Amino acid sequence: MNKKNMNIVSFFSGAGGLDLGFQQAGFNVIWANEYDKEIWETYEKNHPNTFLDKRSIVNIPSDEVPECDGIIGGPPCQSWSEAGAMRGIKDKRGQLFYDFIRILEAKQPKFFLAENVSGMLLGRHSEALENIKELFRNAGIGYELSFDMLNASDYNVPQDRKRVFFIGIRKDLEFTFQFPKPKFKKITLYESIFDLRNNVLPALSQNKTNGINCVIPNHEYMTGDFSTIYMSRNRVRDWDEQSFTIQAGGRHAPIHPQAPKMKFVEQNVRIFVPGKEELYRRLSVRECARIQTFPDNFTFYYNNIAAGYKMIGNAVPVNLAKFLAESIKSQLLSNSIKTNNQTNKKIAV
């Protein structure tokens, strides 16, 4: 196996957090697919060497996808979400998993990685989940499937974020991917965003972006009321803790750690500490990007600030993606060396 030229293609790419992690691990992301037009500018400007296909995966013939060593992606997760309607595979967005598998079966790369929310582990989805696993295992000549739920906070990411990962190795390579145990220390909010505590701007009227007026790109936060659901629990993590999950909606963004933890009134009712209300603001788009481990030179392009939060919240944290990519690459190369050695021994005999 060539160590330098492992090419991958990406589906449901979003802003490209998963793609960036694989690039940082030394893979070439040669082609990507994203259907949401609000994301196109962000993806193209931050991934200038990757061709972006803007069609829905449903409309992409497999023979128009480049030959590759790996396929990665996070099929839309809204239909599996514990907070959503939980329709699972009956939802059209859940069925996009099948198109991901259709492409996989046609291209037969050495490996694939698919990411999704932990909600798909709920009992009501067990039949659909087992069906998807079998489809992965039987795609083409088949894949040895590894499946696990990971918390990003264990992988050099300052955030509690549980997601499930499917990683498959083509059966003719004759090994199964092993999820390595992480050895990272927990990263705190202080370490990740303390230097951003100044120069932040509230969004403009109707939550429009401040654009180039931001001293630090994207360092602006959504304004507006907080819902009763939001106020039903504490939304503040201290500087010495990890962040709550960065979600895809700005209205659900965690509160900045400058504020004291919210005061309990009664079950499902909390308030901001009286006299400290001015400290309670949502994390900025840039702060959320930092917590998702996007580098500062990764700029998000949007007119309405909600689109910025959505891109970031839907992404796979870059550092977690990099760790998994490095693990896949290492195990593929180790297996290749082992196979070559065994072949050489047979020839020598």
What pTM value is reported for the model? 0.92
pLDDT band, very low/low/confident/very high, at 83 (cuts 50, 70, 90): very low
Across the chain, mean pLDDT equals 92
pLDDT digits (tens, 9 = 90+) for 221-254: 999 999 999 999 999 999 999 999 999 999 999 9
Nearby residues of 82 by Cβ (< 8 Å), 6 or more positions away: 117, 118, 119, 122
Neighbours of 171 (CB within 10 A): 16
| Three-class secondary structure assignment of 229-250 | CHHHCCCECCCCCCECCCCCCH
Q: CA of 222: how far to CAs of 204, 253, 280, in Å?
A: 9, 9, 12
What span, in angstroms and rounded, lies between the C-alpha atoms of 62 and 305?
Answer: 35
Place of tokens 């020598």: 348
| pLDDT higher at 18 or 89 | 18
* Residue 121, pLDDT above cutoff 60: yes
Closest by CA to 296, choosing from 82, 46, 56, 8, is: 46
- CA–CA gap between residue 161 and residue 150 (Å, rounded): 8
Angstrom distance (rounded) from CA 40 to CA 28? 19
Place of tokens 């930092």: 290
Q: Which CATH topology does 7-185+321-348 take?
A: Rossmann fold (3.40.50)
322 and 160 Cβ atoms separated by less than 8 Å: no
Residue 336 confidence class, pLDDT cut points 50, 70, 90:
confident
Question: Which amino acid does the sequence have at 193?
Answer: I
With cut-offs at 50, 70 and 90, classify the pLDDT of residue 348: low
Nearest to 36 by CA among 60, 53, 19: 53
Q: Is there a common fold for 7-185+321-348 and 189-313?
A: no
Q: Which of 96 and 156 is assigned the larger pLDDT?
A: 156
CB atoms within 10 A of CB 342: 10
Is 253 exposed, middle or buried (CB count within 10 Å of its CB: 0-12, 13-18, 19+)?
A: buried
pLDDT reported for residue 76: 72
Report pLDDT for 75: 81
- Span 189-313 CATH architecture: Alpha-Beta Complex (3.90)
List the catalytic residue out of 68, 77, 214, 288.
Answer: 77
Bridge partners, residue 168, by sequence: 112, 145
Nearest alpha-carbon partner for 46 in 69, 17, 3: 17
pLDDT average, residue stretch 275-296: 98
Whether the CB-CB separation of 188 and 290 falls below 8 Å is answered with no
Tell me the average pLDDT across 34-51.
Answer: 98
Per-residue pLDDT, averaged over 82-109, amounts to: 73
Listed range (48-52, 116-120, 204-208) with the worst mean pLDDT: 116-120
Return the pLDDT at 84. 47
Does residue 77 have an active-site annotation?
yes
Tens of pLDDT, residue by residue over 150-190, are 999 999 999 999 999 999 999 999 999 999 999 999 999 99
**Three-state SS string across 126-172, please?**
HHHHHHHHHHHHCCCCCEEEEEEEEEHHHCCCCECCEEEEEEEEEHH
Q: Where are the domains positioned within the chain?
A: 7-185+321-348, 189-313
Say how many C-beta atoms besides its own lie within 10 A of residue 8's C-beta: 29
pLDDT tens digit string along 123-148?
Answer: 888 887 888 899 999 999 999 999 99
